[in-house]
Amino acid sequence: MWFRVLIALGGLAALAALHRTLIQGLDRLLAALDALFDALRGKRWRDAPLALFLLSPAVAILGLFGMAPLFYAVYLSLFNSRRPDRPFIGLANYSRALTQPDFWKSLLVTVYYVVGTIPVTMMLSFLVATLLYRIARGRGFFRTVYFLPYITAVVAAATVWAALLHPQDGPVNALLVWLGFQPKSWLLESRGALWVFSGGWIPADIGPSLALFCIMLFEIWHSSGFMIVIFLAGLTVIPRDLEEAARIDGAGWFQATRAVTLPILSPTIFFLLVVSTIKAFQAFNSFYAMTGNGRGPQNTTQNLTVYIYANFYEFGRIGYGCAVATLLAIGIVVMTAVQWRLAGRRVHYE
């Protein structure tokens, strides 16, 4: 009995000694790193080696999974993947893309989608966030309710929307018939949404198709939750005394919003603008889930990402698809640079 107790006490003592040794070794290692970093700061390079050391894991991951595939796609775009020997053709795939009517039609669909979703989503989200900011009770509940669509899987939500807009069995058409209106084809309609809603006064080839308009409505509904939460976060940091001072000076809600709220929210607005633009140019899931193959009736919902997907997996044009993907990446970079150049000047940081 006493022998087992002595063995247990000896084991505890050994563990305590090992623990002290590990702690001392860790302290020495951290002290050595501190000394190394202090020495590096004293040299001409300043904090560059320290920053490189701390950023190296993120740089390695981004380089392996981000930049390497991009460079490989640029490399594949210089070859003709349709032939077995895959000869080098230089910029022929890029020249072919810029002369293809389908490419320009897909670009037009993408522009319609970007222009039709981002401004409406931002304005609607700002108004809802402002209303939620004004209420005292239930703000957390409504914030959760509005954020639920964004965290719902895009494919699942888009499939539900496609079922609601079904031309024969959809509840939306059933409601229209009950109200005395004519049912619509919705996701099967290739003519313009402006032509449909104007009763034929606007030509059918002007503006996005009705099918694309439905996808745009889905995106507005799905993305508004994220913007509402971001706008609410920005509104909570605005000093209330600034708004109260504007109200005392006789400013109404619109004047206070224009002169106080929007300038302070400019970093938030700029962030949402840049992120939403990039996301809209890369949209794919909602197009593919709501129309079956992403192209819709007469390719009126085929944006650039769906066009790239079709060339990759349906037609086997790997080099050509990589060329279009590279052009899309260049376009996004140019668009982001323009936003930083123009909109970035209007951002006011505290």
How far from each other are the two terminal CA atoms of the chain, in whole angstroms? 72
What average pLDDT does the segment 79-103 reach? 88
Q: Which of 284, 288, 293 is nearest to 325 (CA)?
A: 284
Please state the separation of Cα 290 from the chain's center in Å. 19
Rounded CA gap, 274 and 335, in Å?
9
Q: Pick the range with the lowest mean pLDDT from 41-45, 124-128, 157-161, 306-310.
A: 41-45
Are 268 and 231 in contact by the 8 Å Cβ rule? The answer is: yes
Per the DSSP assignment, residues forming a β-bridge with 88 are 79
| Helix or strand holding residue 144 (H, E) | helix 139-151
What average pLDDT does the segment 222-243 reach? 86
Give helix 101-134 / helix 139-151 axis angle, nearest 10°. 160
Are 319 and 76 in contact by the 8 Å Cβ rule? The answer is: yes
Please give the single-letter amino acid code of residue 135: I
- Of 262 and 278, the one with more pLDDT: 278
- Of 22 and 13, the one with more pLDDT: 22
- 278 CB neighbour count, 10 Å cutoff: 15
- 24 CB neighbour count, 10 Å cutoff: 10
Q: Determine the length of the chain.
A: 350
Rounded CA gap, 220 and 143, in Å?
16
Instruction: Output the six-digit token pair for 301.
Output: 């919902």
Rounded CA gap, 301 and 297, in Å?
7
Q: Which of 120, 134, 109, 143 is nearest to 291 (CA)?
A: 109
Q: Which of 320, 330, 305 is nearest to 94 (CA)?
A: 320
Name the 3-class secondary structure at 200: coil
225 Cβ neighbours under 8 A, 6+ residues apart: 146, 147, 148, 149, 150, 151
Angle ∠(213,151,224) on CA atoms, nearest 5 = 45
For 64-82, the pLDDT digits (tens) are: 888 898 899 999 999 988 7
pLDDT at 1 over 80: no
Are 188 and 260 in contact by the 8 Å Cβ rule? The answer is: no
Mean pLDDT of the chain: 84
Confidence of residue 39 (pLDDT cuts 50, 70, 90): low
Rounded CA gap, 132 and 124, in Å?
12
The most distant pair of C-alpha atoms in the chain lies apart, rounded to whole Å, by 101
What average pLDDT does the segment 148-159 reach? 91
Q: Which of 82, 99, 110 is nearest to 328 (CA)?
A: 110
Residue ranges of domains in the chain, CATH in brackets: 93-346 (1.10.3720.10)
Please state the separation of Cα 311 from the chain's center in Å. 23
190 Cβ neighbours under 8 A, 6+ residues apart: 209, 210, 211, 296, 297, 298, 300
pLDDT the model gives residue 311: 93
pLDDT the model gives residue 40: 54
Instruction: Output the six-digit token pair for 138.
Output: 């239930």
Q: Half-sphere exposure (CA, 13 Å, Cβ side) for 25?
A: 6
Which pTM value belongs to this model?
0.82
Are 183 and 170 in contact by the 8 Å Cβ rule? The answer is: no
- 74 CB neighbour count, 10 Å cutoff: 14
